[in-house]
Chain A
Amino acid sequence: MSESAAVAEIEELTVEVGGRRIVDGVSLRVLPGRVTALVGASGSGKTTTGRALLGEFPSGARVTGFVRVDEALVGYVPQHPAAVLNPARRVGALLYDIARGRVRELPRRARRAAVREHVLNALAMAQLPDGSRLLRRFPHQLSGGQQQRVVLAQALLLGARVVVADEPTTGQDALTKRRVVDELAAVAARGIGVVLLSHDLETVRALAHEVLVMRDGRVVESGPTERVWLAPSHPWTRELLAEQPPLRGDTPATSNSYTVLRVRDLRARHRDVEVLHTPELVLRSGECLAVLGRSGSGKTTLARCMAGLHRGYEGEVLLDGVTLPPSLRDRTRAQLATVQYVFQDARASFDERRPVLDQVARTAVRLRGVPPREARGEAAEVLNSLGLADELAARSPARLSGGELQRAALARALLARPRVLVCDEITSGLDTVTRRGILDLLAGLLRDRDDLSLVLITHDLDTARLASRIAVLDAGEVVEQGSAEDILTAPTHPFTVSLTEKRLVEKRRDQIQPSSHA
């Protein structure tokens, strides 16, 4: 194809902030109707590159190179679509304003109807068919998926020739991912150039025509997706694409394992709505139990009931045969120490003003009555063993990466010497390499600590592989449970089948690949 065919181009872009090059000599061409993916771990410079297409750079950045965009119409779908939706205005407000800019040439009288038609069209294109009802709602009244589609509709309404999508599938379950892939494929099919910034390799493979692999601000490898996948030339690409090694925590010897935690006839409510019904769920000592389900399936509520964070339930949670009080406040220190919880959003679970080490050490002081000085020593030791050096531990949370903070959060829980560790989606916001590191760590913990059992709350099948047993949750009901091997290889319940049917790649590929090659 000729040079002029590109709808947007970046050439030799270098972005320097405070003497550090976060993007270093990146070149990129966005072709109409094609999906170009920038792949890399967090901090590899892919978001900065994507934002450059919007003409936006970090404050105080020194920029060299050049960015050319046709008619300056670039749409942006950020990782958290809720952030770009105005909480105080109805969803329609910005859409109408964008549409007004497109009907200036019409006579004044005809504008109103034209604006509305434009907006509804754009919503329909973004796969929101009943747009007129949606327009009157506030952003918080939409689901995450609807929010994402509304933001996509803004870009389509603008008449964008390029859409930059930042991590559109991160933290989503398999079915939602599939839907997002369909949406973006439909956008590309309209002749719009899509730039996909992602560390979700499955999505990239399903969607992208071209891949640029980034590391430390540089493109280390680029080419057609299939070529990069089948024959990666750079060692970093190979590491990124490496199949997940089987991580299975050894199934505990049945002879000396006993029941640590038992959930009996649990019915949990939010307000007056029952969101979870679990007749029986057992956690044995030394095992890893994965609770697998889509978002909204009630899996986090189950975890929160176990940990005493959600007290609106009937039924029992028993620890060593003793009923645990529903609320944290009524549990003894020993009970609190025994069941520890690690949150999905590690950053939100730390006080941003105090050094990580102090916060980690506090657990031992609070729950085990260890003197502060000893607790700090112990905290440093555990942090070291989880791969956080003293220098990192002394920093404030803001200066640690997501993966490092998640390790610190694990260390904080371990300092209580728990026997049950509940991990709620602790890898879902992390890139492939970091996620693998955390999962390795969990497998190591299971191996080294005989008395530790894990409850792994996840929507991700690869993460669930770590477990020896899996319980599948759908709409608040346990639809299937059994050994991990059985569930993953021979699921019986239709919902589990649909989850494990992860032929996302093959499903999409035949639909979008055959378009003309550059």
Chain B
Amino acid sequence: MSGLGSWAARRLLLGGAQTVAVVVLVFALTEALPGDAAVALAGDQPDPARIAAIREALDLDRPAYERLADWATGLLHADFGNSLTSGRPVSSYISDAFGPTLLLAGLTVALLVPVGVGLGVLAARYEGRFVDRLVSSVTLGVYAVPEFAFGVLLVTVFALRLDWLPPTAVGYGTDLLGHPAALVLPVLVLLSRPVCSLSRLVRAGMIDALASPYVAQARRYGIPGARVRYAHALPNAMAPAAQQLARTVDWLLCGVIVVEALFVIPGLGTVLMNAVAERDVPVVQGLAVIFGVITVVLNLGADLVAHRFAPRAEVAA
């Protein structure tokens, strides 16, 4: 077990280095974009003198590496810096927007796991028969539709034509939990593709597991069918699914920009999009740190879970 512990520690160190690399890269890329916050703030009065004044006020005239170093020093004290455009601390941006994003992600995952795994097990159980063909073709079909198209379709049908649900979350602010109806369509859109990829992975793993000698042995010795499927076969199908699930959660937490924009949900994706448009570098960098940490932790978690389900495989950093 100590081998596993030191492996996890190595992975965390590596993840820290990766996050630093991401932050530096994002900083460089935002610098490379034409225009800066001063231009954005100047708005429809792009007078060069005014832009220069704003630049000086915001310290944007100092060399890029100094600004990066300053910001990094602040980060060591958990200070993400202040927004260039509003002056508000970056941490308040993140904490405000994290709620809606976390809510959407949590609901989606809570539905995704039982539905995805259940469909996969169901399809594998009736492999090649009608149920399997139905599940497989529907999941393949839905997977082929991009989120924005699916979202527009759902809004058109259920919000505009049938008027069952609100089309967007406009006007509800960050208190989405108080208006559950506004969450139905976004969660459906977020679920659509992950459910398909997860169920297809589980199905493939389950078909192998159900045909294996150890499942035959469990059946031979009179273990009930459901127990064989869920307790003996499913764990063997979970290792690849766990990795896929981690990627999905990562995607959900690190900016489902299209869905948030479509349903006007004030989550991290929306904040990121606005910050990039306004060249609000501290906000973009703050988000990059958060996204980097989330990705590293989730992947480490997924590898640990996969190791539990496939204990024979050697862990590799």
A→B interface (CB under 8 Å): 54, 56, 74, 76, 78, 83-89, 93-94, 97-98, 101, 138, 140, 151, 154, 158
Across-interface contacts of B214 in A (CB, < 8 A): 83-87, 94
> Taking CB as reference atom, which chain B residue is nearest A85?
B214
Task: State in angstroms the CA–CA spacing of A97 and B221 once bound together.
Answer: 9
Partner of B217, one of A76, A87, A88, A140: A76
Give 13 CB contacts A-B under 8 Å: A76-B217, A83-B214, A84-B217, A86-B214, A86-B236, A88-B238, A88-B239, A88-B309, A89-B232, A97-B223, A97-B231, A138-B312, A140-B312
Give, as a whole number of angstroms, the nearest-CB distance from B10 to chain A. 17
- Shortest distance from the beta carbon of A55 to any chain B beta carbon, whole Å: 8
The reply to whether A138 and B220 form a contact with Cβ atoms under 8 Å apart is: no
| Chain B interface size, under 10 / 10 to 19 / 20 to 34 / 35 or more | 20 to 34
Which residues of B178-224 have CB atoms within 8 Å of chain A's CB atoms? 212-218, 220-223
Neighbouring B residues of A158 by C-beta, 8 Å = 221-222
Given A98-B223, A158-B221, 20 other A-B residues pairs in contact with their CB atoms under 8 A: A54-B220, A76-B217, A76-B220, A83-B213, A83-B214, A84-B214, A85-B214, A86-B235, A87-B310, A87-B311, A88-B239, A89-B235, A94-B214, A94-B217, A97-B227, A97-B231, A101-B222, A140-B312, A154-B217, A154-B221
CB distance from A50 to the nearest CB of B (A): 13
- In the bound complex, residues from chain A placing their C-beta under 8 Å from that of B236 are 86-88
Which of A56, A89, A101, A154: most chain B CB closer than 10 A? A89
How far does the alpha carbon of A76 sit from the alpha carbon of B221 in the complex, in Å?
A: 9
A93: chain B residues at CB < 8 Å are: 231-232
Interface of B is mostly: helix
Return the chain B residue nearest A90 by Cβ.
B311
- Which residues from chain B contact A140 at a C-beta distance below 8 Å? 311-312
Q: Would B232 and A86 count as touching, CB distance under 8 A?
A: yes
Q: Are A98 and B312 in contact (CB under 8 A)?
A: no
Closest residue of A by beta carbon distance from B215: A86
Question: Nearest Cβ in chain A — how far from B41, in angstroms?
Answer: 57
Q: Which of A54, A56, A94 has the most CB of B within 10 A?
A: A94
Q: How far is the CA of A86 from the CA of B214 in the complex (A)?
A: 5
What is the chain A residue whose CB lies nearest that of B309? A88
* Cβ contact within 8 Å between B213 and A94: no
- Distance between B207 CB and nearest chain A CB, rounded to angstroms: 15
Residue of A94, A97, A138 touching B311 (CB-CB under 8 A): A138
| Of the residues B213, B238, B239, contact of A78 by C-beta under 8 Å | B213
The chain B residue with its CB closest to the CB of A158 is B221
Contacts of A98 in B (CB 8 A): 221-223
**CB-CB nearest 6 A-B residue pairs:** A84-B217, A88-B235, A83-B213, A86-B214, A88-B236, A140-B312
